[in-house]
Structure 1
Amino acid sequence: MQGIWGWVGPQGNQNREALLSGLAPRSSQDGQIPDQVHAENGALSCHPESGARVYERGGLLIAYAGQPRDSYGGTEDGEQLADRIADRYQGTGDALLRELSGSFALAVLDPGNREGMLAVDRMGVSDLAYTISGDTLIFGPRADLLAQDPRCGAELNPQSLFNYLYHHVIPRPGTVFQGVHRLRPGEVVIFANNQLETKSYWRPTFQEKDSASIQALQEEFRTTLRGAVDRAARQGKAGAFLSGGTDSSTLTGMLGEVTGEAPKAYAIGFDAPGYDETEYARIAAKRFGADYHEYFVTPRDVVAAIPEVAAASDQPYGNASVVPAYYCARLAREDGVEVLLGGDGGDELFAGNVRYAKQWIFSLYDQIPGWLRSSLLNPVATLPGGNSVPPVRKLRRYIEQASLPLPDRLETYNLLEHLGPERVFTEDFLSEVDRTQPLAELRREFEDLRAYSLINSLLGMDLKFTLADDDLRKVTLAGDLGGVQPRFPFLDDSVVSLAARVPPQHKMRRTRLRHFFKEALADYLPREILDKEKQGFGLPFGVWMQEDPDLRELARDSLDGLRHRGIIRTEMIDELTSSRLQEHADYFGTLTWVLMMLEQWFRTHLSEPTANTEFLTGTG
C-alpha cells in the first residue's frame, strides 16, 4: 500500500501501536511489514517498498511518499532530507514547502505539542486524505480506509455523489465520505490547538511577457524536458506509455536518449473504428527505434477489469480510459518495467485540448463592435423559423454560447447540465444536495485566474480539475493495479516553470493547438504525429455494449442495482437499458459507464441496500 499513514492528538494511555495498526494496512502485497514510528501523542507508518519513508528527529515525526527534492540542499538522500525538513519546520513552519520540489505527500508531526502539518506537491501527483476525530488528526492515502477506522465513521456524502455524476470524479477537497477530505494540489493542512487550517502554498502563476526569445525558450524546453525524463528514468527500469500523440512520442524518444538504449514503449489499441491510434504509435516507435509492444483491449477485458477497478479505487471513479491504462501498465510490468513514463500534463501546460480552440472562437464575439452585433448578427440569429435554416441555427447557437461568461460556457457540454438533474436523480436525493455547487466551485477557481489571458486561465483551471482530479488519478490507479510506478516528466517543477513563461499567443496560435510545443519539436517528432488531429484515449464502451452480450449484461445488472439505492430515477435507468444507447452510443454510453462504476463501487465497498435512504448513512 503506497503512501503515508498516521495520527496526531491526545490518546491517553491507550495502546499506541494498536491505534496505528487499526488505521494503516498491516502488510503490503508481498507481505512486508510497514515501518512505524511512535510517540505519546502521534504515530506514522509506511511501506518502504513503495518509496515512502518515516523518521524521528528531535521530537518530530516525519514521513514522506513520492520523490521530494530539496531545492537548496541539492541531494535526494532520505536521512539528510529528513534532517533539513526538521530544521526548517522548527524554524519556519510551512514555509519549508517553498524549498521542496518533485511529487510528494508529506507529514510532519509534533506530538509533544499535539500539532502537525500535511502537504502534497504542487501538481497534486501524490494523494493524501485526512479527517478530524474529536481532537485527533488522522490521515492516509485512501479515504475508504480512513472511513473504516472506528474513530471516523463511513457515512456517505450525498453532495459528493452528485458531484461525481457532474464531473465523473469527485474533485478535491471532497471525498465520498462525510468528514473525510483530500488535499488539493499545492495545499498544506496545519493542525494546532485542536483547530485545522488549510491554505495554498503554491498556485499556478503565468509570466505572460517573458523577455527571452521564443527560440531560446524552445531550446530550453527541450533541455529541461530531457532532464526531467532522465530523473524519472533513474528511478527503476523504465518504459513509456506510447499513445502515438505528441507527448508520449516525445517522452519515448527522450527515454532512449537518456538511457542510451532502445526505449521500451507500450501501446494499447481497440478494434473499433475511430478509437484506435496504434498506427501513430508504430510510427513513433519506428522513428525512435523503440522496443515496442502493443495490446488490443477487447470487450472481455473490459468486463474483467470493471470490478477490479472499482475495488481498487477508494471512491467512485468514472473515467473509462482507466481500463486501457491498466492493461498498458500490466503489459509493461509483464515485460519487467518498474517505472512507466506518462505524458499527462502536456495538454494542460502547452494548450493541447480542442476546447481551448473552441473557446478562442467564442471569445471573438466580444471583439465584434456592439452596433454590429445589435443591428445585424442578433436580428439575423433571432429570425422566426431560423432553426430550420442551418447557417442561422449555427449563428444562434454560437451567440448563445459566446454570450455566456467563463467558466459557465465550458459546462454547456456537461452531460448532467444537458440532461437536467431532475431527470437523473430522485427528488429525495436532490433535496439533500446543492445542485449549484459544482459550477460554483469552478467559478471560485476561475476567479484566481481571471487576470491572465484566455488560454492561461483555461490551462490553470484544467491543471486542477482535469489533470489533478482526474487524469493523474486514472494513471495512478492503473499503475497500482498493473504493478508499475507512473512518472510524469511534464509535471517536473522545472518543466512547469518553463511552460508558465511561454507567452500565451505562442502556446496556441489562433486555433492551432500546441504551437510552441510543435515548433520546438518540429525536427524531432514525425510529421504524421505533428499534423494529426487530437483524438484522446477513449474506450469504445457504448459501441461495444451494443455488440457484446457479456458487457451489456454487466451494465444492465449494475444499473438495475442502482434502482434500490434511492439516488437515480428508475425512469432514467429504464431509458438507458432500453433505447438510448441505440440513439447515441457515445453520449449515453458515457452516462451508463459512470452509473455502472458507481454501483460497482457500492458493491465492492458497502453492503447491499435495504432502504431507499441508506445511501445517506453509508450502510448501502
Structure 2
Amino acid sequence: MAGLCGWLSTGGGQDGRDIRERAESLAARHGAGTQHRANPRAACLVRDGWLVEDDQGRIAALVGHPFWRDRELAEYAAAKDHARALLHAWQQYGAGLFDRLGGDFALVVIDTAQGRVLAGVDRIGQQPLHYARIPGGVVFGSTADSVLAHPGLSRTPTAEGLYHYLFFHMLPAPVSLFPGLAKLQGAHCLEAEAGEVQVRPHWQPRFDEPDAADESALGEELRGRLRESVRRRADVDRPGAFLSGGLDSSTVAGMLADVRPGEADTFSIGFHAEGYDELPYARIAAHHFGTRAHEYYVTPEDVVEAVPLIAASYDEPFGNSSALPAYFCARVAADQGVTRMLAGDGGDELFAGNARYAKQGVFEHWGRLPEAARRALEPLFTTLPRGLPVLGKARSYVEQARIPLPDRMQTYNYLHRLAVEDMLAPDFLAAIDRDAPWGLMRDIYHRPAEATSLNRMMYLDWQQTLADNDLRKVSRMVQLAGLDVAYPMLDDDLVEFSCRVPSTLKLQKGRLRHFYKEALSGFLPAEIIDKKKHGFGLPFGVWMHEHAPLREMAYDSLLRLKGQGFLRPAFIDELIRLHREGHSAYYGDFVWILMMLDLWLEAHPADSSVRLPRAAQA
C-alpha cells in the first residue's frame, strides 16, 4: 500500500533521537519498500513512492501517479526522480508548485531550517492526506493510523465524528473520527510555520460554459482525451479493468482494448439475486471489445467471510456496501497476475449521470415561478391529503421544492427520514452540532464562482461522493488485494474539459449523460448506452432474509451497538423489526451501515469508547 507519513516539531520536548527512533519503528512496521529520513526536528516515511533529503535537511516526499506540467520539471523528474523534482519546484516556486503538478498525488515538503511544511493533494483528492497539530509543528500521513501513531494524539472516537458517519456513511474531509485529526479536501494544501497551520485550496474549477457549443467537436475531443488518459494509465505490464457493464467501466474497458489490443483483461461481479445482477451487460461490453473477461459470483457466504476483514481494513468506519464486490473483483484480478486496475469512477460526477441531478432539475421549476405565485399556491398544496396518489405527490413535490439546494439532495438521508431524537441517545445529541454536516455541504456547494446548480451539485459530489466515498472504497479494496489502481476518468485535462461542456448538454430534457452518450455512440454498444444506471450494488438486505449466518452476524452487530451508548436501544429493536417486516432492501442498507460501524469498533477495541464533552456527560 503506497503512502507517506511524518512530522515536523520545533518544540514540545522532542529531540532528535526520539524522532529517529519513532521513524525507524514505523518503517519497520510498514515493512519492505519503505524509505525513511529523519533529522533532529523532522521525520518522513514513504512506501512505494519517492523520498529525498538534501544536505540542508529539507525533505520532500511524493506518492501516487504524478506528472509535471512544467517541461523543465518533467525533464528533471525523468533524469532524477519525482521527489528531487518536487524539492527543486519548492525552491523555485514555493506553494506555486501545485500549478505545475498534475495527476493524482499526495506530497509533503519539510523545510527543517525554516520550520516550514507544505503538504497537499491532487485536484479531486484521489490520494488522501490526514494531519494534526502538535506542539510547535504538524504531523501528517496518508492514513489516520499513521498520524495517530504519534504519542501526542488520542485514538478515542468523538461524538461529532460518529454523527458525521451516521449522516454520510463515511467521514468526509475535513472531518475525522478522532480529536485533533483532520483531512485535506481535494485540491487543498496545508502550510505550517511557527506552530501555525493554514489550509487553503490550491486550485478551483472554472465552469466556463460557452454560449454556443459545437457538440460534434466537443464529442471528438472527449473521445481523444479518454483514449489518451487510458493509454497513460495502462502503461504497466499487466493492466486490468473493472467492468460492471455501465457507461464508464465499459468506456475504460473499450479504450484499454484499443490501446492494448489482445491484452485487455476485464473483471466483473455477479449476484444470484433478481434486480442486482449486471453480468449480462458486462458480457455485452466484453464481447463487443474483445476483452479477456473474468467473472465472479459473490455469495452470502462470501459476505460473512469477508465483511470483518473489509471493515477492519479502513482506518475509519466506512459504510459503502459495494466495497465488498470491489474487493472480490480485485482479488480475482490479483490471482490472474494483474498489477494495476483501471476504474471508471468519476464519469457521473463530471458529465451528469446521477439520477438526483435530473430530479433536482424538476424541483427547480418551482423556484422559477414568480414569488407571488409560489406564496399563493404553497398553502393549497401543503394541505393536500398525503394518502391520495396524485394529490399526495403534488404535496410532496412542493414540500421538497421549498427546500433549497444543496439541502434538498439529502431528503432521502436516513437521518432526515427517521426521527433523530428517536435514534440517538440524549447525551449523544447534546454533544453534537446537528447542523455541522449541512454546513459542510453548503460550504462546498457554494464554493465555485459563476456555476449552474447542476455544476455545483457535481462539484459537491467531486468532494464527497467521489473523493471520500467511491475512490476510498475502490482504492482500499484494490490495495487490500495487493494491487495498484488508477482512475482514467479523473484525468486533470478531462476534468477541465468537463467544465467547458454546457450544463444543457450534460443533462438535456431529463436525459442523464446526454452529451457523453452522444459522444460515445458508435463506440459503446447501444445496449450499454440505453441501459439504466446500476453499479456494483450488493443485495445485502435481501440476502439477510434468506441466509441465517448473515442475518445473525448483522443482528449481533446491532445488539452490540446497544452497549456503545450513542444509539437508543429502542431504535435498534425497531430497525430490526422494520427490516424483518418492511422494506428489506431499504432498511437493509442502514443495517449494513451500522454493522460496519460495529465491526470497525470491534477491530479497534482500544478506540471504541465514545468521547463526549463533559457538559453532555453531566
- TM-score bracket, shorter-length normalisation: over 0.9
Cα separation, partners in 2 of 1:62 and 1:379, compared to 1, 3 Å: closer
Q: Deviations over 1:13-50 (max 9, x none)?
A: 4343212134x35254xx51521122221121112xx3
> What SS is found at the alignment partner of 1:77?
helix
Equivalent residue for 1:32? 32
TM-superposed CA distance for 1:614, in Å, is 6.1
> What SS is found at the alignment partner of 1:580?
helix
- Residues 190 and 198 of structure 1 are in contact (CA less than 8 Å); yes or no, is this contact kept in structure 2? yes
Equivalent residue for 1:355? 356
> What SS is found at the alignment partner of 1:477?
helix
Equivalent residue for 2:517? 518
Asked if residue 56 in structure 1 is aligned to residue 53 in structure 2, the reply is: yes
Equivalent residue for 1:422? 421
> What SS is found at the alignment partner of 2:577?
coil
- Residues 27 and 34 of structure 1 are in contact (CA less than 8 Å); yes or no, is this contact kept in structure 2? no
- Residues 20 and 39 of structure 2 are in contact (CA less than 8 Å); yes or no, is this contact kept in structure 1? no
TM-superposed CA distance for 1:63, in Å, is 0.5
Q: Deviations over 1:411-448 (max 9, x none)?
A: 11111111022121111111111011101111111122
Equivalent residue for 1:5? 5
Q: Supply the AA of the counterpart residue of 2:532.
A: E
- Residues 351 and 508 of structure 1 are in contact (CA less than 8 Å); yes or no, is this contact kept in structure 2? yes
Structure 1 gaps of 5+ residues are none
Higher deviation after alignment, 162-171 or 556-565? 556-565
Asked if residue 20 in structure 1 is aligned to residue 23 in structure 2, the reply is: yes
Equivalent residue for 1:310? 311
Equivalent residue for 2:273? 272
Q: Supply the AA of the counterpart residue of 1:19.
A: R
Structure 1 distance, partners of 2:52, 2:547, is: 53
Equivalent residue for 1:474? 473
TM-superposed CA distance for 1:581, in Å, is 3.6
- Residues 154 and 177 of structure 1 are in contact (CA less than 8 Å); yes or no, is this contact kept in structure 2? yes
Structure 2 distance, partners of 1:63, 1:367, is: 51
| Cα RMSD after superposing both structures | 2.0
Q: Deviations over 1:475-501 (max 9, x none)?
A: 011111122211100111111111111
Q: Supply the AA of the counterpart residue of 1:55.
A: V
Asked if residue 286 in structure 1 is aligned to residue 284 in structure 2, the reply is: no
Q: Supply the AA of the counterpart residue of 2:414.
A: L
TM-superposed CA distance for 1:328, in Å, is 0.6
TM-superposed CA distance for 1:315, in Å, is 0.5
Higher deviation after alignment, 137-146 or 399-408? 137-146
Structure 2 distance, partners of 1:485, 1:511, is: 37
Q: Supply the AA of the counterpart residue of 1:444.
A: D
- Residues 131 and 138 of structure 1 are in contact (CA less than 8 Å); yes or no, is this contact kept in structure 2? yes
> What SS is found at the alignment partner of 1:556?
helix
Equivalent residue for 2:155? 154
- Residues 5 and 146 of structure 2 are in contact (CA less than 8 Å); yes or no, is this contact kept in structure 1? no
> What SS is found at the alignment partner of 2:564?
coil
TM-score (norm 1): 0.94
> What SS is found at the alignment partner of 2:287?
helix
> What SS is found at the alignment partner of 1:422?
helix
Higher deviation after alignment, 449-458 or 532-541? 449-458
Q: Deviations over 1:384-419 (max 9, x none)?
A: 6x3333211111111111111111111111111110
> What SS is found at the alignment partner of 1:5?
strand
Q: Supply the AA of the counterpart residue of 1:46.
A: V
How many equivalent pairs are there? 607
What are the residue-to-residue correspondences of 1:501-540 with 2, within 5 Å?
501-540=500-539
Structure 2 gaps of 5+ residues are none
Equivalent residue for 1:451? 450
> What SS is found at the alignment partner of 1:413?
coil
TM-superposed CA distance for 1:112, in Å, is 1.5
Q: Deviations over 1:288-312 (max 9, x none)?
A: 0110011111111111111111111
- Residues 8 and 42 of structure 1 are in contact (CA less than 8 Å); yes or no, is this contact kept in structure 2? yes
TM-superposed CA distance for 1:514, in Å, is 0.4
TM-superposed CA distance for 1:383, in Å, is 5.5
> What SS is found at the alignment partner of 2:538?
coil
Higher deviation after alignment, 436-445 or 37-46? 37-46
> What SS is found at the alignment partner of 1:444?
helix
Equivalent residue for 1:67? 65
Structure 2 distance, partners of 1:153, 1:38, is: 24
TM-superposed CA distance for 1:373, in Å, is 4.7
- Residues 156 and 615 of structure 1 are in contact (CA less than 8 Å); yes or no, is this contact kept in structure 2? no
TM-score (norm 2): 0.94
Asked if residue 462 in structure 1 is aligned to residue 465 in structure 2, the reply is: no
Cα separation, partners in 2 of 1:382 and 1:346, compared to 1, 3 Å: closer
Structure 1 distance, partners of 2:476, 2:89, is: 33
> What SS is found at the alignment partner of 2:386?
helix
> What SS is found at the alignment partner of 1:197?
strand
- Residues 157 and 607 of structure 2 are in contact (CA less than 8 Å); yes or no, is this contact kept in structure 1? no
Structure 1 distance, partners of 2:533, 2:450, is: 28
Cα separation, partners in 2 of 1:546 and 1:471, compared to 1, 3 Å: same
Equivalent residue for 1:436? 435
> What SS is found at the alignment partner of 1:564?
helix
- Residues 8 and 137 of structure 1 are in contact (CA less than 8 Å); yes or no, is this contact kept in structure 2? yes
TM-superposed CA distance for 1:572, in Å, is 1.1
Higher deviation after alignment, 451-460 or 331-340? 451-460
Q: Supply the AA of the counterpart residue of 1:18.
A: E
TM-superposed CA distance for 1:254, in Å, is 0.5
Cα separation, partners in 2 of 1:464 and 1:236, compared to 1, 3 Å: farther
Q: Deviations over 1:357-393 (max 9, x none)?
A: 1011111112334565556x54652566x33332111
Higher deviation after alignment, 283-292 or 136-145? 136-145
Structure 2 distance, partners of 1:182, 1:154, is: 15
Structure 1 distance, partners of 2:242, 2:400, is: 37
Structure 1 distance, partners of 2:382, 2:138, is: 58
Q: Supply the AA of the counterpart residue of 2:488.
A: P
> What SS is found at the alignment partner of 1:175?
coil
Q: Deviations over 1:561-585 (max 9, x none)?
A: 1111111110111122334343011
Cα separation, partners in 2 of 1:584 and 1:84, compared to 1, 3 Å: same
Equivalent residue for 2:558? 559
> What SS is found at the alignment partner of 1:189?
strand
Structure 1 distance, partners of 2:149, 2:53, is: 27
What are the residue-to-residue correspondences of 1:101-120 with 2, within 5 Å?
101-120=102-121
Equivalent residue for 2:567? 568
TM-superposed CA distance for 1:608, in Å, is 8.6
Cα separation, partners in 2 of 1:605 and 1:552, compared to 1, 3 Å: same
> What SS is found at the alignment partner of 1:103?
strand
Q: Supply the AA of the counterpart residue of 2:50.
A: R
- Residues 360 and 510 of structure 1 are in contact (CA less than 8 Å); yes or no, is this contact kept in structure 2? no
Q: Supply the AA of the counterpart residue of 1:36.
A: H
Q: Supply the AA of the counterpart residue of 1:105.
A: A
- Residues 302 and 551 of structure 1 are in contact (CA less than 8 Å); yes or no, is this contact kept in structure 2? yes
TM-superposed CA distance for 1:77, in Å, is 2.5
> What SS is found at the alignment partner of 2:293?
strand
Structure 2 distance, partners of 1:615, 1:284, is: 52
> What SS is found at the alignment partner of 1:577?
helix
Q: Supply the AA of the counterpart residue of 1:2.
A: A
Q: Supply the AA of the counterpart residue of 2:15.
A: G
- Residues 156 and 610 of structure 2 are in contact (CA less than 8 Å); yes or no, is this contact kept in structure 1? no
What are the residue-to-residue correspondences of 1:156-235 with 2, within 5 Å?
156-209=157-210, 213-235=214-236
Q: Deviations over 1:162-195 (max 9, x none)?
A: 0000000111011111011111101111110111
